[in-house]
Amino acid sequence: MPPAVSRTSALPDFAVETRALSKTYRARGRQPAKVALDSVSLAIPRGSFFGLLGPNGAGKSTLINILAGLVVKSSGQARVWGFDTVGQERAARAAIGVVPQELNLDPFFTPRELLEVQAGLYGVPPSERRTDVILEAVGLADKAHAYARTLSGGMRRRLLVAKAMVHNPPVLVLDEPTAGVDIQLRQQLWTYVKALNAAGTTILLTTHYLEEAEELCDRIAIIDRGRVVADEDKHTLLGRLDSKAVTIVIDRDLTAVPEALAPFAPELKDRRRLSFRFKPSRVKAGAILSAVEAAGLGIVDLSTAEADLEDIFLRLTGQGGVAPTARAD
């Protein structure tokens, strides 16, 4: 059975750490060899909510499967909670819980039976199992004795989270956890996961919902074609684009941009709307507002649009850029 993992003694600085981690899948038949990971180095701080983003085929799932002991690396090093995935694989596996994309549940087991079996596989003694507590936490207490096949997609997704937590791992990996889950269930899931993180569990999240990563994660790495193209604090990453837009609604009709505003190169959207695009590192929004007022124009309303995580993602993965999403101030 896997050894118990301590959360209190000799805590590692990094919950997950990889160094020059590479994986190449060998050629098969007419399929050429494929480099899935190319010298990936990451250090995920203990207790963080870490986002791992990347397009389909970028290598995210390969990385997760190496951490979980399901895929053999080609070279490099991977450690979970300080344990090497090769040589200390039993301890490494005990330190991690993985919520996969696929809804891989036995349809003829009840949620309670599934958690009990999973706890047994991890060697959790009956007296230390938290089956009912976990089911309550993920909102499945009333479905404890229903067959898994009768559960909705959202309930099955939450059951996967519960299954990953039976051995109380200090690291929880969520691989596209809210795919196909409605908004209400998504919010319930995030409420539980955020509580886990606040209690000390390190969360590693992969998602295609960029707004989720932007809202939840404190640090984000972007992987593309098997290589890390960004690994930074979220706010540092968002500050990279240095791009902002301000749209101002004025109190009178215009037929042309006033000469006094020409240095800011605004666009006259319609007779009463001026749009300014600028770099916050060079131009302050207050200077623009002062110039509008100095031109004798009254400001009726304004909205701003800042670079968001989607802009960063598209730019760093070579998929172009999009206009900032408007956000009212």
What domains appear along the chain, each with residue ranges and CATH number? Answer: 244-306 (3.30.70)
pLDDT single digits (tens) 182-220: 777 788 788 888 999 999 999 999 987 788 888 899 999
Mean pLDDT of the chain: 88
What length is written for the chain?
A: 329
Q: What is the pTM of this model?
A: 0.77
Q: Coil, strand or helix: which one is 50?
A: strand
Residue 175 belongs to what H/E stretch? strand 171-175
Contact predicate 42/221, CB 8 Å: yes
Query: Is 227 strand, coil or helix?
Result: strand
pLDDT of residue 81: 97
Please compute the mean of the pLDDT values over residues 167-186 and round it to a whole number. Answer: 84
What is the tens place of the pLDDT at every residue in 60-117? 999 999 999 999 999 999 999 999 999 999 999 999 999 988 888 888 999 999 999 9
In DSSP terms, 146 is beta-bridged to none
Q: With bands split at pLDDT 50, 70 and 90, how would you rate the model's confidence at 237? A: confident
